Amino acid sequence: MKPRAIRFPQDTLPHDTIIEWWYFNGFLTDVRGNHYAFMDCLFRADADKVKIPYFKNIFGAGKAGRYALFAHSMLADLGAGKTWKDVQNISLASRDTFTRPLFYANYIDPVSVAGGFVAHEMAEIAPGKFHIKTETIDLLLESRRPVMLEGGNGFISVRGRESFYYSLTDLKATGMIRVPGAGAGRGAGTDDGWVSVTGRSWMDHQWADTPYAKDRWTWFSIQLENGMDIMCVEYDDGKGKDRVVDILDAHGKASHVSEAAFSSGSEIWKSKTTKAEYPLAWNISIPEKGITLTTHARMHDQEMIFGAINYWEGPIAVAATVGGKKVSGVGFMELAGYPSDYNFLLLAGKKVNARVQQELAARVKRFLG
């Protein structure tokens, strides 16, 4: 891949690369002051090159350029300590997905079709304005700040892996979420659990010609109350580590640094399913900018399991010092590539997994004609 300028709205659309994702997270509040957090991510992958084994069973090997979609989302009720996760191991897209001048995707989970499905949507309905919809969220998101171009120009290289990467770090959020079991008594809700909310969101869009299959990264999106937004990541390929830090200050001025120190605290959460151990508290120092960050997870069981891949994704609280002044904030953390004893085929059962793959393959074949 060669660096070039990011172009809008063209680069919000999909690219012919091995892997690409459109990712949103955010914090929401209802009229009664209940607090929530959400994440919604749509992935597009070259089924032959991305090195996700069961994709080849579904799509067939040797068919580079056949793109698969899959989607992960979650909603957390921070007060109640509950999380609802939705992992689509493969997603079937509508015929008009990716055909419009602005980014548009409409997709379903084929496994849920028999029991009745909910159409998911992720779309840019106007420049810098998005609609995202899953089984638990239905939100309008409108950007209020300049775009953050990671690496200074929207192109980064970590341990030889190159990618285009930009973020919208401050999106005004309005809409509704579905809190299972909440009923009409939870805020301005309905009998089936829909609650009106407002809040603030973050959007990432990244695409690369690398499968990222076996590497580890510790990633943060951070929004401080002084108006500063920070993306920081430590990337580990097993032979060395690279760090990337991008910052927008309160006035929207961007800066990029590659020197930062990441250290985990003593709080560890061990998954009962995968046996993976995730450090839930972190200290991050960015000396060049006079910034120190201390983060801790708002929820523990935030593990997402996608086939043979497991990762931790969830909301964090942040205590920072910026230029000697203390400031608080919120954010999201993603811990990927942390070792586990999880064997998807063993735990799911080889026969059950085979039937699922056969059914998915049949439905994909029918869908693709």
Q: Which residues, other chains included, contact 357 with Cβ-Cβ below 8 Å and sequence gap of 6+?
A: 54, 57, 58
Looking up tokens 């997905």, which residue turns up?
97
Mean local confidence (pLDDT), 229-239: 95
Q: What percent of the chain has pLDDT over 90?
A: 72
Residue 309 has a pLDDT of 82
Per-residue burial over 172-207, b = 16 or more CB atoms within 10 Å of its CB, e = otherwise: ebebbbbbeebeeebbebeeebbbebebbbbbbbbb
Q: Which tokens sit at 289?
A: 């900018």
Task: With a cut of 50, say whether residue 345 has pLDDT above it.
Answer: no
Task: For 277-299, write each residue's pLDDT tens digit.
Answer: 999 999 999 999 999 999 999 99
Task: With CA atoms as reference, report the closest residue to 150 among 169, 167, 171.
Answer: 167
pLDDT band at 52 (very low <50, low <70, confident <90, very high): low
Q: What mean pLDDT is reported for the chain? A: 89
Cβ burial 113-147 (10 Å sphere, 16+ → b, else e):
eeeeeeebbbbbbeebebbbbbbbbbbbbbbebeb
With contact defined as beta carbons under 8 Å apart, do 224 and 235 qualify? no
Q: Give the chain's domains with CATH numbers.
A: 16-368 (2.40.370.10)
- Residue 54: pLDDT band with limits 50, 70, 90: low
Structure tokens at 287: 């000396």
Distance separating alpha carbons of residues 36 and 314, to the nearest angstrom: 11
User: Is 220:295 a contact under the CB 8 Å cutoff?
Assistant: yes
Please tell me the predicted confidence (pLDDT) of residue 352.
44
Structure confidence by residue, pLDDT tens digits, 294-343: 999 999 999 999 877 889 999 999 999 999 999 999 999 999 999 888 65
- The model's pTM is 0.89
If one compares 292 and 112, the residue with the highest pLDDT of the two is 292
Q: pLDDT tens digits for 158-211?
A: 998 999 999 999 999 999 999 987 654 454 455 578 999 999 999 999 999 987
- Mean pLDDT of the region 58-85: 82
**Lowest-confidence range among 33-37, 127-131, 362-366?**
362-366
C-alpha distances out from residue 97 to 12, 166, 254, Å: 13, 22, 33
Q: What are the tens digits of pLDDT across the range 213-223?
A: 678 999 999 99
